[in-house]
A and B are shown apart, each in its own frame.
Chain A
């Protein structure tokens, strides 16, 4: 079955960086994009960016584009999200999701989420 398994919770100080991994299985990794989204406590869903494992192309939300880096390791079917210069308002649950692409399909399978807490 299709699975996306994320790395564990992180606690970081303001100004630090965090990397979250997302190991996929059960489908052809290069056939779908991976979107990263986040959800602040008690808030709605915010899309952060997308990467194509096939081409390596990326697209970032304007709000985080200067601090976000998305990468992949095709050999292990794993996607990575690095967020730099963390601030307290980056505290959120971060999700990876399989993304069929614009005008093709929505984000259909999601990881379990990774809580990132930014606190001094």
Chain B
């Protein structure tokens, strides 16, 4: 199975801050990497697919980069509605695997 190591596990930030989350795969996943946002009591919402492609309707302050084993997710200017938990997911191979999550809360 491909292991996804996500960091940090949590961070505190203020509205307007730039936030960066990293995800490292245990083997090459090409660009088959997605980023999800999850709020309490809700299912995950896909934000980024193909490592860097913005899902339709997702604000442009969200972005992703990377390929192979190292990936980065960035929120350019944190908004109040962005406080949530974020996960990376590889879909290069089954089983689909996720990073452990990054909880973003208010400083």
User: Is A105 part of the binding interface, using a Cβ–Cβ cutoff of 8 Å?
Assistant: yes
Question: Is A110 a contact of B44 with CB atoms below 8 Å?
Answer: yes
**Number of B residues, CB within 8 Å of A:** 23
Q: How far is the CB of B105 from chain A (nearest CB, A)?
A: 15
B contact face: mostly helix, strand, loop, or mixed:
loop
Q: Are A44 and B87 in contact (CB under 8 A)?
A: yes
Contact (A44, B49) CB under 8 Å given A103-B91, A112-B43: no
Residues in chain A near residue B55, CB distance under 8 A: 108
Shortest beta-carbon distance from A79 to chain B in Å:
15
Chain A residues within CB distance 8 Å of chain B: 35, 37, 44-47, 50, 59, 61-62, 95, 97, 102-113
List the 9 closest pairs (A to B, CB-CB), nearest first: A106-B34, A110-B43, A47-B96, A45-B98, A106-B91, A108-B46, A47-B95, A61-B95, A44-B101
B: residues with CB less than 8 A from A are 30, 32, 34, 42-46, 49, 55, 87, 89, 91-101
